[in-house]
Structures are given as structure tokens and as C-alpha cells.
Structure 1
């Protein structure tokens, strides 16, 4: 296996790659059962289990997706070295949709009979485009995203805490630290849709339940400057700003806040922070280091408080660092997403049923999944967020991965009430 293949695919915008193993017999739908008596249907042979990954390693999310894919492969390397899952090697078939939903649909249709399930699907638009195909195929898929809309599809698996709960916990933590207090005005900048709109619902709930005023500004995410929006929030007297946007918008807001002298906490969900924001010469790097916070389901890369995070970081540094510019928490997400599916495979194996239906049944038995790099997870109720805990991270220019764990937090009382 060529461990530098990820970089090659990102550079060449290739359509697909097989990251582990080279078997072309992926099981299809006619297996019926393995030689060990375990029932199988799709993506499973006597020697291999194949999981799919649909991601973007060639377009706008390359910087996020490539370390995620590295994390999935680190998990496969680890379990295969230990004898595999259910006595079978784990193969990961990565396909690049380039953030195009039509391409994602076409790729899914070509993959669906060759994989047991999907260890990761990246991109809210692509997840939305595929949701009916996923449900019709009854195929389990871990999604890279934390929107509550994913809970509407029983075959979509969230690898962490939902966006609104992240926001509620983040604001509750700021309150606990004395950075905000009832009666204050909180600024909120968000993009619309299943990320930003969904997350903002958590901010609105927190404000309503705890005596705050929330002043919101919706943006497209395509702006080149957010000075006017920041001036609006400053005029409203905000004591903190929460953002549910991409990293470019977060960087623009930090730059504008620095220029306007709006020296208040600037918190974001997982997608808002990226290491480039604090790189040498970054216009708002010092402001973000001083005022930035992230509420997330992912531990920092190499977090010394987690033996597993340290192991994953060491594996990345040894085998994948040359292929990536971003040794960050996204490596942990890729590892954790695949570990969730791995836990379901092990439970299904114990039950003697590695069919897709067996995976779904096994998933519902997982009440305490500890990946070592994500928040603790409970999949016993598919209609509820699998976790109500979050990690509070601080950007850091001295730590590998560009962030440090400030606190493990939650669920706050407000988060519990929101999720009742």
C-alpha cells in the first residue's frame, strides 16, 4: 500500500482510490454467509470488509478532507495489524466527489453494491442529495457533519454532538467562566442551511432560556469583508460573538473585530477554525489566539490527555505527515468516524450477522462508544444526538495541530432541556 497516495489523489483530482488491500472481490449482494458462519450480503468476503468514503480531496474542502482520510486509514492500519475486524482485513474505498452533488450521486450508485457501508460522507449538500439513496439501500453511513437534520435519516450516523447542542454548551461554558452574563447581548454570525441555520437555533434557545439578547447576522459565506456586520454587532453592545460559518468567514470577522476594537470572545463550531488563521503573518492571528474558542466533538490533534490521540498523532507523523499540510483535529475525526463503524462491525460479528441489516441492529446496541478522540457516544436512540458533551478548544501557535484542550464540558442544564 502506498501511504502517499492521498496526496497524489488530491493533486490529480482522481475519481477514486483504494487505500487498503487490493482485492476486487468485495462481496456484492450474493454472499449469503462467510466460511465462519457469519451472515453477509454486501461488501464482505471471507477475508475482507470494504467500507466506502465519499469526500472532497480535490476542491474546496481538500484541506479538511485529506487529514480526515488519513485518519480513516490510520484506523484501518491499526485494526489490520491486530488481525482485522471479525477476522477480516478492513479495506477503505475512497471516492472524490469534488463537492459536486451530481458526482456524489453517480459515485454512490457505482459503489453501493460493493461496500458494506460508508465510513464517512463529507459535505452537507452531498449528504442531502444522497439521503433517499441511502435510505432506499438501507446502508449505514457515518456523516462528516453534525446537523440535526441527519437525525431524520436512521441510516445516517452522527460522529458527535449536534450543532445546536455544541452552541448551547459553548455559550454555557462562556457564562460559567464569567465571560458573559444574563442581560448581555450576544452577537451571532451564521450561514444559512443545515449547518449555520441549525446551529443558530441553539444560540436562540440558549438566549431565550437564560435571559440574553441574541443579535443575529446571516451571511452567505462568500463575502470578502465583514466589517459592516461587525460594526452592527459592536453598535449593539455585544459581549461575545458566536459564528457558525466556514473558516474564511471566521477569519474575516476576527480581522474586522480587531480593527474595530471589539475585544470580546469569538467562538465557533468545528468548521469555523483552521490553522491558517494563526499562521505567521495572518492578519488576525494575534486576535484569534487571544479571543478565539472552538466548541467541538473532536479532541485536539495529539492531545496529551488521551493515549489514543497521542497514538493517532504518532501514526500520522510517521506515515502521513508528508501527504498533508494540516496535522489537525480532522485526523481525529477520520479515525473516530471509522472507529464508530468498526465498533458496529464487531457487535454485528458477535451476533453472527455482518449484513447491512445486522450493522443497523448492532449500532443500536452501542450505548458507550469511546473512540479515544471524539466525545463519548450513545447510539441507542437514533432520533437523539449521540452525545451532549463538547470539547472547548483554544487556538494555539505552539501545539501540534494548532489547538489545545481548554475544557471538557457538558451537558449543560440548557443543553439537556433542549434535547428532551
Structure 2
């Protein structure tokens, strides 16, 4: 599923990409602004009666399963909105590019689409969003709702992380391990993490929580191309850690949990929200995942007992009967719905330019499409939520996940600010 280019996700390669990202598409907010017949101001990304939105996803790389679900959920959202008349009389259109979790493809995909779209309902990969952040903030100024949760993306009025960032999510995850899984002051906790923006931001959460709670973090840094966690498990076992956090992809999580179980190392393991896919339950790692693995999530799972979740399950199954359900469906739907809400508010203000949509999102301070956590987009410097739901793999549950702790922000998370 991975290409050999993935190794270039390393920090040095991303620094080089910042040079590439500086090659401007020269698409600036305000270029070609015009008034529609209804008196609504429009600009880049709107042509005729169509609002064009971009999707930069991973359908062939380490997050292929997630990318497919996120994209299909967003296509479903667009189809339903258009069937009900669109937004402000305009139909929505998604232009999808698969970057395969390759940095060069991600940046070139952004370069291609940025001049053509009003904004992005999806951009998978914190390192890749960070690589074009300067361009987004400085000249393009189109709203980006990434499927990435790095705190390094905070502070931008145009790049808006939905839910708790990786550092906050990790703090909540360790709080769960301490309150419910026996981890205590003086213990060692292992942290296996991807090099780069995602893993290192999650590690910052571990270090903060370790300082607050009197823990010792044993680090194991890996690359997205590393799929066998045998060496990492051996090192953590030798260090006598009492629990493990993993900030990587589903494949790495499955290997870690499976190897730990086979090696009679039954410590609790918890992953960040992108470190699980329910398809893993059908693999050899399935029994170990259901026995001793947990996931911190920015929302309730797709199988949540809410009217909105049940309707989304029904609609998604009807649209994609051959595909399985997972939390990528929730992430994709939530981002598309948040973008749609900003479009509706911008329409009401008679300003569908990039600037108008950006301003509209700032007015949304209590957004919840039915998955248990209310998002506040009014402060770009803060995560839209500090709450996390703790999930556990379960074959019998819709989407393969069940809730073991409802949405909660730990006291440590409430008192945390990035960099503290």
C-alpha cells in the first residue's frame, strides 16, 4: 500500500518542500470578486452556479482505508446537499486528488487545486498541511479543514483542526490509563510514534502528562514505512513499561498489539484516533486488538446511539453497500458539514468569497453534527475541543468500535496549552 517515497516524510524533506510550496499559484482572496444576481459576493472557487471544493486524500498509502471513508462520506454529504437545493442556490462540487501519503504529491496536489477551489474539506497528513501553511495563511487564504490534528496547525484563521489536537488527545489517553488501567506515579510508559508533525506533537502530550503525573516516557520513533514492531516491543518490554501509547497508522498499531500479545507482554496499549481501522479485526491481530487495545477519538464512533449517527449509517450503507463502516466516515462527514455550515452563514452575510467563508466559520461556536462533542471554531489559537472519547475495538459493534469512556476533557488537558 505504501510507495517508497514515504520515507521523505522526514523533517529534512519537509523543509525542502517549503521551498516548493513557495511557488505560488497566485490565487489570492479577492481575485475576480463579483456580485451574483441575489447580491451575494463571490470570488475564487465559484463559477456559474457551482462552488468547487478540494479534497487532498490518501487512498493508496498508509491511511488508505481512512482516506476512502473520509472521501466517500464527503461525497455523500455533497450529494445530499445538492439534492436539497445546494447552498445559496449553488451546487457543491468536490475535486479529489490522492497523494498516497507522499509529500511531493501532497504539495503538488495543493498547488494544482488551490487556484481552482473555494477551500478544502479534506487534507490528510499534518506534515503536508504544515508544508503549505505559509502559503495558505499568506496568500491563498482559502479555508482548510484537515484530517490532521497537530497543534502546530493552530493559530491560523484558515486551517481549522476539528476536535482535540494530538497532544491533548494523548493527555486524555494517558489520563484514561491512569484512572482505569492501573498506570501510576513512578511507572514507565512507552510511546511509539511516527517521526514528523503527527507523532512528535502526540509525544509532546506524553511528556507533559508524564511531568504532571510523575511518569517516565520511553520513546520509540518509527517511520511510516516501518510495519514490523518486533524491535519496538522488545525494547519496551526490556524497559519494563506498564503501558504503551502509539501515534502511528493502523498497520503499525496492529503489529505492535499482535507482537506484544505473542510475546506475553499484556500491558494496555492506546492509540491516537488515526491508529486503528476496523478491517484489522479480520486479521491475525484481531483477537489481541479486542483484548488489550484502546483508541482516543475526537468524537463518538460511527455506531453511536444517536439519531444522526443512525441516519448516517443507513445513508452510507445505501450509497456504498460493499464498503465497511469506520470512524473515517464520521471525520469526513463532520468536516464537510462544518464547511457547509460556514457556507450557509457566509451566504446569509451575502459574502461567499474566501474571506467571507473564513469569517463565517469564526461565528460558529457550538457545532455538533450528532457525534457527542461540541466544536467551537471561534478561536483559531485553540483546539475546537479538548474532549476525547475512549473507544475499544469490538467485532459486534457497528464500525468495529464501542465506547468505554464518554467524551471527557481531563483536568490535565483543561490546564494544558501547546508548548507548556
Taking structure 1 as the reference length, the TM-score comes to 0.87
Asked if the contact 2:155/2:382 (under 8 Å) is kept, the reply is no
Tell me the distance in 2 between the aligned counterparts of 1:368 and 1:275: 30
Tell me the distance in 2 between the aligned counterparts of 1:399 and 1:318: 19
Asked if the contact 2:181/2:268 (under 8 Å) is kept, the reply is no
After TM superposition, the structure 1 = structure 2 runs for residues 266-345 of structure 1, keeping only pairs within 5 Å, are 266-279=269-282, 282-303=283-304, 305-322=305-322, 324=323, 326-345=324-343
After TM superposition, the structure 1 = structure 2 runs for residues 201-280 of structure 1, keeping only pairs within 5 Å, are 201-279=204-282
* Displacement after TM superposition at 1:270 (Å): 1.2
Q: Does 1:112 align with 2:114?
A: yes
CA separation of 1:104/1:218 partners in 2, compared to 1, >3 Å: closer, same or farther?
A: closer
In structure 2, the partner of 1:378 is 376
* Displacement after TM superposition at 1:96 (Å): 2.5
In structure 1, the partner of 2:9 is none
Partner deviation per Cα, 1:202-247 (whole Å, 9 max, x = no partner): 0111111012222222222433432332233223332211111112
Asked if the contact 2:121/2:335 (under 8 Å) is kept, the reply is yes
Q: 1:64 aligns with which of 63, 66, 69?
A: 66
Asked if the contact 2:65/2:277 (under 8 Å) is kept, the reply is no
Tell me the distance in 2 between the aligned counterparts of 1:183 and 1:68: 40
In structure 1, the partner of 2:202 is 199
CA separation of 1:244/1:110 partners in 2, compared to 1, >3 Å: closer, same or farther?
A: closer
* Displacement after TM superposition at 1:45 (Å): 4.6
Tell me the distance in 1 between the aligned counterparts of 2:314 and 2:231: 44
CA separation of 1:31/1:192 partners in 2, compared to 1, >3 Å: closer, same or farther?
A: same
Asked if the contact 1:34/1:46 (under 8 Å) is kept, the reply is no
Tell me the distance in 2 between the aligned counterparts of 1:71 and 1:374: 18
Partner deviation per Cα, 1:45-96 (whole Å, 9 max, x = no partner): 5633221111123444322211111110121122223322223222212122
In structure 2, the partner of 1:146 is 149
After TM superposition, the structure 1 = structure 2 runs for residues 171-186 of structure 1, keeping only pairs within 5 Å, are 171-186=174-189
* Displacement after TM superposition at 1:152 (Å): 4.3
In structure 1, the partner of 2:101 is 99
Asked if the contact 1:297/1:374 (under 8 Å) is kept, the reply is no
Asked if the contact 2:62/2:224 (under 8 Å) is kept, the reply is no
* Displacement after TM superposition at 1:416 (Å): 1.1
CA separation of 1:205/1:339 partners in 2, compared to 1, >3 Å: closer, same or farther?
A: same
CA separation of 1:224/1:419 partners in 2, compared to 1, >3 Å: closer, same or farther?
A: closer
In structure 2, the partner of 1:77 is 79
Q: Residue 115 of structure 1 aligns to a residue in which SS?
A: coil
Tell me the distance in 1 between the aligned counterparts of 2:373 and 2:104: 33
In structure 2, the partner of 1:122 is 124
Taking structure 2 as the reference length, the TM-score comes to 0.87
In structure 2, the partner of 1:17 is none
Partner deviation per Cα, 1:390-417 (whole Å, 9 max, x = no partner): 1111101112311112222321110011
Tell me the distance in 2 between the aligned counterparts of 1:125 and 1:181: 33
Tell me the distance in 1 between the aligned counterparts of 2:113 and 2:256: 41
* Displacement after TM superposition at 1:374 (Å): 6.6
Q: Name the Cα RMSD after superposition.
A: 2.1
* Displacement after TM superposition at 1:311 (Å): 1.2
Q: 1:401 aligns with which of 379, 394, 399?
A: 399
* Displacement after TM superposition at 1:186 (Å): 1.6
* Displacement after TM superposition at 1:266 (Å): 0.8
Q: Residue 187 of structure 1 aligns to a residue in which SS?
A: strand
Q: Residue 65 of structure 2 aligns to a residue in which SS?
A: helix
Q: Which moved more, 1:241-250 or 1:226-235?
A: 226-235
Q: Residue 380 of structure 1 aligns to a residue in which SS?
A: coil
* Displacement after TM superposition at 1:361 (Å): 1.0
In structure 1, the partner of 2:11 is none
* Displacement after TM superposition at 1:367 (Å): 0.8
In structure 2, the partner of 1:9 is none
Unaligned runs of 5+ in 1: 1-27
CA separation of 1:379/1:185 partners in 2, compared to 1, >3 Å: closer, same or farther?
A: same
Tell me the distance in 2 between the aligned counterparts of 1:78 and 1:145: 25
* Displacement after TM superposition at 1:384 (Å): 1.0
